[in-house]
Each structure stands twice: as C-alpha cells, then as structure tokens.
Amino acid sequence: MKLDKKDFDIIAQLKEDSSQSTKDIAKNINLPITTIHNRINKLRNNGIIKRYTIELNYHKIGTSLAAYILLKLDFKKLFKTFASQEQFTKEIRKNAHIRNISFTTGAYDAIAFARFKDMEDLNNFLNYLGQYNIIKETITHIVLRED
C-alpha cells in the first residue's frame, strides 16, 4: 500500500491521541468522516496500524526510573537453552520491568528498555538478569529526561 499525505495526516493525528473519534480527526485535517473511517480501516487491514496504545504518567504509577540496558549474549548458550532469539525475548519480557527488547548490531547484541520505581528496584532487576548464564555482560544507561 502506497501512503499519501492524507494517510500521513491521519497517522499523525492518531499518534497524538489514538482515542480521538473519526469526527475529531476529520475536523482537524479537513476531510470527510467517511474518508477518515475508510482510510483508517485500510491502514489497519494492510498492517500499517498494528494496534492502539496509551501513554502513562510513570511518576503517578511509581515507575519513573527508566533505563536502557545493553546486553552482550553468549549465543551458543542461548541456542542450547532456547529454540530461538524470539523465545529468549519472550522469556525476558515476562518480567514486568521490561517494556521492549531489541536485537542490535555492534558491540552489544540486544538492548532492553525497562522501568523501575527506584535504584534498588533497578539493582534487583540487574541481579535477576544474572540468573541467565547466556548474558555475559550488561551496561545500563539511566534516562535523565524523557520528552
């Protein structure tokens, strides 16, 4: 599916607030409601819009400490323990702190994004990661400010 300016305008509106109605989107970008409705359906049916989500206030729910954790992995051990990289990430994602994990190029093999209530919580999580003998090394980058 080839996207045009109208599609990108709709996507921009949904990225700003995915809970807004087709009527509101139509009003904001000067298109008929039926056009908005049909295009959103086409974007969903073609897999461009995969899901709708929410943005949380992490301070209010007590997980304001965010960190990126770089992981150096032992792939021989990984494939002895797990059938695939996806199975490993599925296992790691079971931990409530993990928000995302991606495999990367470079000196480290994966990067995880996680949230914690405080430094002690982060430290406990890093100790938890130590149980996986396939993780050879980690580097943690604490997020100072999110925009």
Domains and CATH numbers, the chain: 5-45 (1.10.10), 58-142 (3.30.70.920)
Q: Is the pLDDT of residue 27 over 90?
A: yes
C-alpha–C-alpha distance, residues 94 and 87, integer Å: 11
Query: Which pLDDT value is given to residue 38?
Result: 96
| Residue 101 near residue 85 (C-beta atoms within 8 A) | no
Q: Is the pLDDT of residue 110 over 90?
A: yes
- Quick: pLDDT tens for 43-95: 999 999 999 888 889 999 999 999 999 999 999 999 999 999 999 999 999 99
% pLDDT > 70, the chain: 100
- Quick one: DSSP state of residue 41? H
Q: Tell the burial category of 100 from Cβ atoms under 10 Å away from its Cβ (0-12, 13-18, 19+).
A: exposed
Query: Which pLDDT value is given to residue 6?
Result: 95
Query: Which pLDDT value is given to residue 146?
Result: 87
Phi, psi of 65 (to 5 degrees): -85, 120
